[in-house]
């Protein structure tokens, strides 16, 4: 759609301006743009293993004494890495909330821009080998996933991520909260690479929110788990649905802390 293309271009310009003054990392920067459908699945869990994983220099932002973990699931119809169209892509990111500045950076096209959210990456995977190669080069370790299934927006809906044979994350929403508005958000995501170095991925997103945070059940089933901090079982969750979302990211920045 023409409107979608305009929004993607606007986000790209805004993100480039926002990152102009950022300190450069030693590795080359990489740039990502995409249009996707998204489910964001949030759970509150015991913070201790997550704090041990991220380290004391990245204190968790707790809610009711719990760590907030979000599983961000994307089914992308358009995906560009460094200006190159790499084709439709399905992916999943798992982040834990950490303390950050919570400033407001305007997002072009948004009816409301939320304060910046700061995260530490626990897992990143894709079914597209070209995306995995480019993200690995930027410092974000990648895993191969089998695929993503997202139901269309509705009162009752399901979603599923197949990470490997026999390992699945699925969620069920029985009474979604319908909404329709354009929301802007900036995500600062810290990532530790295979050598133990931390880089910053700065992500700006324009979201068409079609269902607000809705009560759901997350079910984790499987044997060998690439997400050892989220054990098999069932968890109460909140699912927010964005059909679609437009995102622009600068990957591999030197961290500011």
Task: Assess if residue 25 is contained within a domain.
Answer: no
- Provide the domain count of the chain: 1
Alpha-carbon span 107 to 84, nearest angstrom: 23
Which structural domain, as residue segments, surrounds residue 164?
A: 2-19+32-252
Task: Assess if residue 7 is contained within a domain.
Answer: yes
Task: Assess if residue 247 is contained within a domain.
Answer: yes
Task: Say what the pLDDT of residue 215 is.
Answer: 96
Task: Assess if residue 27 is contained within a domain.
Answer: no
Positive or negative, the Cα torsion across 41, 47, 53, 57? positive
Task: Assess if residue 24 is contained within a domain.
Answer: no
- As a whole number, the mean pLDDT across the chain is 88
Task: Assess if residue 213 is contained within a domain.
Answer: yes
Q: Answer whether residue 226 shows pLDDT above 70.
A: no
In this prediction, residues 24-49 reach a mean pLDDT of 89
What CATH number is attached to the domain comprising 202?
Answer: 2.40.400
pLDDT digits (tens, 9 = 90+) for 190-218: 999 878 899 999 999 999 999 999 999 99
Are 38 and 245 a contacting pair, CB within 8 Å? Answer: yes
Using CB atoms within 10 Å of the CB of residue 52, give its burial: 0 to 12 exposed, 13 to 18 middle, 19+ buried: exposed
In this prediction, residues 63-85 reach a mean pLDDT of 96
pLDDT classification of 1: cutoffs 50, 70, 90? very low
Are 231 and 220 a contacting pair, CB within 8 Å? Answer: yes
Task: Assess if residue 122 is contained within a domain.
Answer: yes
pLDDT digits (tens, 9 = 90+) for 124-138: 999 999 999 999 999
Q: Answer whether residue 19 shows pLDDT above 90.
A: no
């Amino acid at each position: 759609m023409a409107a979608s293309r305009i929004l993607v271009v606007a986000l790209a310009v805004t993100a480039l301006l926002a990152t102009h003054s950022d300190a450069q990392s030693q590795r080359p920067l990489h740039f990502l743009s995409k249009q996707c459908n998204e489910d964001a699945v949030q759970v509150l869990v015991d913070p201790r293993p997550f704090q041990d994983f991220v380290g004391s220099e990245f204190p968790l932002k707790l809610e009711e004494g719990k760590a907030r973990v979000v599983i961000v699931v994307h089914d992308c119809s358009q995906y560009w890495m460094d200006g190159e169209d790499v084709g439709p892509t399905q992916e999943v990111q798992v982040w834990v909330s950490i303390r950050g500045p919570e400033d407001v950076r305007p997002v072009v096209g948004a009816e409301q821009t939320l304060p910046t959210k700061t995260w530490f990456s626990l897992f990143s995977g894709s079914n597209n080998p070209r995306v995995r190669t480019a993200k690995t080069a930027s410092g974000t370790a990648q895993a191969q996933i089998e695929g993503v299934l997202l139901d269309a927006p509705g009162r009752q809906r399901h979603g599923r991520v197949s990470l490997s044979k026999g390992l699945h994350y699925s969620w069920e929403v029985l009474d979604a909260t319908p909404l329709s508005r354009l929301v802007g958000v900036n995500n600062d995501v810290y990532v530790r690479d295979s050598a133990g170095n931390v880089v910053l991925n700065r992500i700006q997103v324009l979201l068409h929110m079609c269902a607000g945070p809705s009560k759901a059940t997350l079910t984790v089933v499987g044997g060998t788990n690439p997400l050892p901090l989220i054990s098999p079982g069932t968890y109460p969750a909140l699912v927010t649905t964005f059909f679609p979302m437009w995102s622009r990211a600068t990957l591999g920045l030197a961290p500011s802390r």
